[in-house]
Amino acid sequence: MRKLLLIPAIGLIAGCETVAPVAGTGFNTPQYQAQREAQLAGQGVAGNPLLPPSEVSQQPLSAQGAATAIPPTTGDSAGDIANQTAAALASTSGQTVSSTTVAPSSNTGISDEQDFGAVSNRRSIESDAARIEQNRQTYEVVTPTAVPQRSQDGQPNIVQYALSTSNPVGTQLYSRAGFNLQAKAERNCAQYPSSDQAQIAFLSNGGPQRDRKGLDPDGDGFACSWDPSPFRSAVNN
């Protein structure tokens, strides 16, 4: 029984055996190599001979090709580049393309003051001297004048008063007599829009020695929380 089973298996193995290619077939045959070498040598096959490169280069151009030949270059200007581009497009499309010579543009908006060669053509030492002299003639010197005096409007100058004092706020220098001086000062100070106005009114009515309106209850010479420190600091700085 085992022998009967082995016979088909051996047949299958024999059928899967790789068959070696016959020598002399394919692309590596001597006949193919000879044919390929003949083509490269210019002999050609089947009546289609290949022309060697030397013969191709010696053939004259057609009338159309001669008309659209690329013109020789004379430089790297914009006009030469435009002409060459037009000729190349005409040779590829078979149509005549009109080209317009492009003149090189000059950057007139850019200053050339840093170019010594360009400036030297327009200016000279004499022209610079004339320009300097012209500037001197138009130069005007303003003579300093004295600071104008403050107009005398009849009101005390609180700035001048602040600079004439040196005592801190709250330090009593002048005697004040009466009852409820602080409450009276609060009512009277409320009548003025600012402490500066209250100080001007205080100095206009006998201050700082006298306090007729009750604006300086502590007797430091400053009415209604007016502070001379900002004016003193401005002068010191």
Q: What is the mean pLDDT of residues 141-166?
A: 83
69 has a pLDDT exceeding 90: no
Distance separating the N- and C-terminal Cα atoms of the chain: 127
Q: pLDDT tens across 179-232, in order?
A: 899 999 999 999 999 999 999 999 999 999 999 999 999 999 999 999 999 999
- Asked if residue 224 lies in contact with residue 199, where contact means CB atoms within 8 angstroms, the answer is yes
9 has a pLDDT exceeding 70: no
Confidence of residue 85 (pLDDT cuts 50, 70, 90): confident
Who wins on pLDDT, 119 or 7?
119
Who wins on pLDDT, 168 or 119?
168
